[in-house]
Structure 1
Amino acid sequence: MKKCILALILLNSFYYEVSAQVGINTPTPTATLDVNGNMVLRKANSALSNKGYSCIVRDDNTGELKVIASPSGNTLPLNYITYTLNNVNGDWVNDYDTKISSSEYTVAIIGSNYTSSNNGLTAAVGTDFNPMNVFAFNSGNTWHLSADYKGATSSGGNGTWEIRCLVINNTLVKTLPNVIQNLGGSKDASATSSPSGL
């Protein structure tokens, strides 16, 4: 009976090494389980919104499956955080260092709002001020935040910015080359091609 089972396994391209490495569709497995081909996962239980689950990714160089993790042990690829910065200089945050490593994460701002004691902003005499300018930038290997209504002052004294950020594990992020295009004074334009690297 054992011989029949072994013959059936070999005919289906299933290989077992004495070193406890199993290969499917490969006679030379290089890991505990080495699958050479597509895998199908049939119906599975949903994680719903429960915590305690990791995200699995594939190493494009070796094919090895790995768990996303940061040096602190965070295994979640997408993280949400709100920075509430109180008593800022009027409406201006020039440089707030989040201390989030830019080599491990990418920070994307997904929303913000500014309030002062009377929600008032005034422009310099005879001028207008720009809409809010809120962005994240990389400096010194960490992510920094900047927020301002350029050309405006807060008529309600120092204010508060709430800046909502998505913090993404860099394992899932590919940085594409910048796109620079002269619109020649036009208000409409089209890229010459899809961004390189997509």
Structure 2
Amino acid sequence: MASQVGINTLTPRTTLEVAGGVQISGSIDIGNFSGLKDEDSSTFLIQEGDNTIKSLDVSNPTGAALAYIQEYIIEDPNLDWVKDFDTLIDANEYTIIVTSASFNQELDLTNNPGAEKNSSIPFASAFVSNGTWHIVADYPQAANLDPNAMGVWTVSTLIFSKDVSKQFGTIPIPMYNTSVGTAISPIID
């Protein structure tokens, strides 16, 4: 015999429905869950600061997610230099991390003394300006071997939504004119 039980409701929608607050003084056993398959859907429940619950369907590629991967293809910069590309992504809502960057042109090192013996690695990062995230990309001490060639930067980013990630804030680290330092205490213990 099967039935549905409701507490503070006359029309329970499942085996047990509690309409109201719940306080648990013992333990809750949660059964085993099998791994997700590509065709499965998955949802996170997130509690907001005002104690409301938000549902986040991370299986929907066009909906909200815990993080986003975005690849920017930046074409024809000045030689190999992207001084300031504005992504227009709100820095109050999201955090951006550059995960990789590459440039498709052969490079020529500058004529500075000793430069011919050096190599140049790409520099790419994200920074905040006027409330949005920007990208900079460059090969310091180098430029296109053919200054007339159209160069292309491929910059991959990871974008985190601040409302579904823990924000630790800023910690000032005084280095006292040295190159070695240690945190006062770990952020996560």
TM-score, structure 2 length as denominator? 0.71
User: Which residue in the other structure is 1:113 paired with?
Assistant: 102
Task: Pick the aligned partner of 2:132 from 114, 118, 142.
Answer: 142
Q: Is 1:159 the equivalent of 2:151?
A: yes
Contact 1:88 1:159 in 2 (8 A): yes
Q: Percent identity?
A: 17
C-alpha separation in 2, matches of 1:55 and 1:109: 26
What are the superposed Cα offsets for residues 52-90 of structure 1, whole Å, 9 maximum, x if unpaired?
Answer: 53332223542x431138xxx723222212111121111
Contact 1:67 1:75 in 2 (8 A): no
Task: Pick the aligned partner of 1:65 from 49, 53, 57.
Answer: 53
- Unmatched segments (≥5 aa) in structure 1: 24-28
Task: Pick the aligned partner of 1:81 from 70, 75, 87.
Answer: 70
Deviates more, 1:79-88 or 1:131-140: 131-140
RMSD: 3.5
Please state how far the C-alpha of 1:39 moved relative to its aligned partner: 5.1
C-alpha separation in 2, matches of 1:17 and 1:143: 48
- Unmatched segments (≥5 aa) in structure 2: none
Q: Is 1:170 the equivalent of 2:165?
A: no
Please state how far the C-alpha of 1:147 moved relative to its aligned partner: 0.8
What are the superposed Cα offsets for residues 94-143 of structure 1, whole Å, 9 maximum, x if unpaired?
Answer: 11122223333221111111221xx2231242264864321112233332
C-alpha separation in 1, matches of 2:88 and 2:121: 27
- The 1:164/1:184 distance shift into structure 2, 3 A limit, reads same
User: Which residue in the other structure is 1:90 paired with?
Assistant: 79
Q: Tell me which amino acid in the other structure corresponds to 1:170.
A: K
Contact 2:68 2:159 in 1 (8 A): yes
- The 1:184/1:95 distance shift into structure 2, 3 A limit, reads same
C-alpha separation in 2, matches of 1:39 and 1:59: 23
Contact 1:54 1:75 in 2 (8 A): no
Counterparts of 1:95-106 in structure 2, within 5 Å, are 95-106=84-95
Q: Report the number of matched residues.
A: 175
Please state how far the C-alpha of 1:168 moved relative to its aligned partner: 1.6
User: Which residue in the other structure is 1:26 paired with?
Assistant: none
C-alpha separation in 2, matches of 1:171 and 1:94: 30
- The 1:147/1:173 distance shift into structure 2, 3 A limit, reads same
TM-score, structure 1 length as denominator? 0.68
Counterparts of 1:21-32 in structure 2, within 5 Å, are 22-23=17-18, 29-30=19-20
Please state how far the C-alpha of 1:48 moved relative to its aligned partner: 2.3
Contact 1:132 1:148 in 2 (8 A): yes
What is the SS of the residue equivalent to 2:163?
A: helix
